[in-house]
């Protein structure tokens, strides 16, 4: 307990935002008795957010399949036979129709994903046109397009992009067992370009890929140790897809997932922590515990890129049961 004495948030005052969390401290948080961990996470959450509000995002795959990367979890990799067909970049009007539908359904942020290692400049121009049109609908915008150069990040900023998603995925030590086509430093450099361009950073990871708790500690340490914490931190549960190397991976204990959410909230208290992929396999009780642990964002809609997500009506019912309401755009 002594390792985390200074991490205990005060009910009456804001605890300091730290970038010097040690792995020992983070591991000690993971090891806390569950009631104590939830109390600390909920206290940190209430210092910066209304605990009854949830940010709603919708994610659309604007360019699906055919990715040259070998991410072991991803059915969009051209290296795996996971039943995902390579498609061309969507037309602007098709994307706009999806954005309008997302806004009508209650989303405040529209996220676009493209299965590229990194975009070519002509491809980026098309995405920037989409960003400009979606911004005109008064939606926040987010994109995940792979690695970016500094110039590409600036171009996205000029188009009005609010957030860029580029996950670290896992700990530096476990990373090589999941991806070999790019290194950890490549991801950090893209994050640096995005931050330097003035775009908000969306960066988190995936759990349940066969990593140890020490790897989950390492992932949180890498995120919380960034010079500026990500404004958005998605915590994904592995979606096991047949045909990928992780298709038969055993499911992570749900309470360990909740612990990961709670530790992310405590170490990055100002971040919006997104309960991201994997909700299709979670019952209502697990999701409720995640919200109690400090998650305050979800993806809304029937699909996350190529994998299932709870239908909107199921999310509405759950939010009503829990007394949660959509967060207004920041």
For residue 97, the surrounding DSSP H or E stretch is helix 92-104
Residue of 74, 128, 203, 290 marked catalytic: 74
Q: Which of 259, 256, 303, 266 is nearest to 113 (CA)?
A: 303
- Distance, in Å, from the CA atom of 264 to the CA atom of 317, rounded to the nearest integer, reads 26
Quick check: is 74 catalytic? yes
- Distance, in Å, from the CA atom of 321 to the CA atom of 302, rounded to the nearest integer, reads 20
- Distance, in Å, from the CA atom of 272 to the CA atom of 274, rounded to the nearest integer, reads 6
Residue of 40, 109, 111, 155 marked catalytic: 111
- Is the distance from CB of 308 to CB of 241 less than 8 angstroms? no
Bridge partner residues of 298 (DSSP): 56, 275
Quick check: is 202 catalytic? yes
- 3-class SS of residue 234: strand
Quick check: is 128 catalytic? no
* Residue owning tokens 């009854």: 52
Residue of 142, 187, 216, 259 marked catalytic: 142
- Distance, in Å, from the CA atom of 242 to the CA atom of 80, rounded to the nearest integer, reads 9
For residue 165, the surrounding DSSP H or E stretch is strand 163-165
Q: Which of 111, 97, 159 is nearest to 139 (CA)?
A: 111
Residue of 202, 240, 279, 290 marked catalytic: 202
Residue of 109, 265, 274, 279 marked catalytic: 274
* Residue owning tokens 């999806």: 98
Would you say how long the chain is, in residues?
330
Quick check: is 203 catalytic? no
- Distance, in Å, from the CA atom of 240 to the CA atom of 220, rounded to the nearest integer, reads 22
Q: Which of 268, 256, 265, 275 is nearest to 212 (CA)?
A: 256
- Strand 303-304 to 307-308 pairing: antiparallel
Residue of 71, 128, 203, 290 marked catalytic: 71
Residue 316 structure tokens: 């509405």
Write down the number of H helices and E strands in the chain. 10, 12
Quick check: is 290 catalytic? no
Q: What are the residue numbers of the active site?
A: 67, 71, 74, 111, 142, 202, 274
């Amino acid at each position: 307990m002594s390792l985390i004495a200074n991490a205990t948030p005060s009910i009456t005052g804001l605890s300091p935002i730290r970038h010097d969390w040690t792995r020992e401290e983070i591991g000690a948080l993971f090891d806390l008795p569950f009631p104590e961990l939830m109390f600390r996470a909920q206290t940190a959450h209430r210092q910066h957010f209304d605990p009854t509000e949830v940010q709603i995002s919708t994610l659309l795959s604007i360019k699906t399949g055919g990715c040259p990367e070998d991410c072991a979890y991803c059915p969009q990799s051209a290296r795996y036979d996971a039943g995902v067909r390579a498609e061309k970049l969507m037309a602007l009007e098709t994307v706009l129709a999806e954005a309008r539908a997302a806004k009508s359904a209650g989303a405040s942020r529209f996220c676009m994903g493209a299965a590229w290692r990194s975009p070519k400049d002509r491809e980026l121009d098309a995405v920037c046109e989409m960003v400009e049109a979606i911004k005109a609908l008064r939606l926040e915008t987010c994109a995940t397009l792979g690695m970016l150069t500094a110039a590409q990040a600036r171009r996205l900023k000029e188009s009005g992009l609010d957030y860029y998603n580029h996950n670290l995925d896992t700990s530096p030590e476990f990373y090589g067992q999941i991806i070999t086509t790019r290194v950890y430093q490549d991801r950090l450099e893209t994050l640096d370009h995005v931050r330097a361009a003035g775009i908000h950073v969306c960066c988190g990871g995936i759990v349940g890929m066969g990593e140890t708790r020490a790897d989950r500690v390492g992932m949180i340490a890498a995120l919380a140790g960034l010079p500026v914490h990500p404004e958005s931190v998605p915590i994904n549960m592995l979606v096991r897809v047949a045909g990928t190397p992780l298709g038969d991976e055993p499911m992570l204990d749900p309470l360990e997932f909740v612990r990961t959410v709670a530790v992310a909230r405590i170490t990055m208290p100002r971040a919006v922590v997104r309960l991201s992929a994997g909700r299709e396999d979670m019952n209502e009780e697990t999701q409720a515990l995640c919200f109690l642990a400090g998650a305050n964002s979800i993806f809304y809609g029937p699909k996350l890129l190529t994998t299932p997500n709870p239908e909107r009506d199921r999310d509405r019912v759950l939010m009503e049961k829990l007394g949660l309401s959509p967060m207004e755009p920041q």
